[in-house]
């Protein structure tokens, strides 16, 4: 099996998914055109993949909600402050 890794673009997408508040489906995000180019591109890619409702963010789709949940869970698992030995 090939060794998996996260590209810079994928990391940008994961970072954007981590910004969503999963406690409610009534809250979205807006990536302004003046935001970092990486964030603008990540939002556009997430929209093209059907994970968010708008090319500049918007709301999570059901599939996007699942992706955001996994992204946020992975981030929490990898957070050194939360690791215990």
**Per-residue pLDDT tens over the stretch 22-55:** 999 999 999 999 999 999 999 999 999 999 999 9
Show Cβ contacts of residue 48 under 8 Å, excluding neighbours closer than 6 positions: 55
**Cα 19 versus chain centre, distance:** 7
Task: Give the predicted TM-score (pTM) of the model.
Answer: 0.87
pLDDT of the residue at 48: 98
Burial tier of 51 (Cβ tally within 10 Å: 0-12, 13-18, 19+)? buried
Q: Is the pLDDT of residue 85 over 90?
A: no
pLDDT of the residue at 84: 58
Q: Return the SS3 of 13.
A: helix
């Amino acid at each position: 099996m090939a060794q998996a890794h996260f590209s810079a673009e994928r990391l940008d997408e994961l970072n954007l998914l981590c910004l969503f508040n999963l406690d409610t489906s009534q809250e979205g995000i807006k990536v302004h055109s003046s935001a970092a180019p990486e964030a603008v591109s990540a939002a556009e890619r997430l929209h093209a993949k059907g994970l968010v409702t708008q090319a500049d963010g918007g709301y999570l789709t059901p599939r996007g909600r699942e992706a955001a949940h996994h992204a946020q869970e992975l981030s929490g698992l990898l957070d050194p402050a939360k690791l215990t030995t």
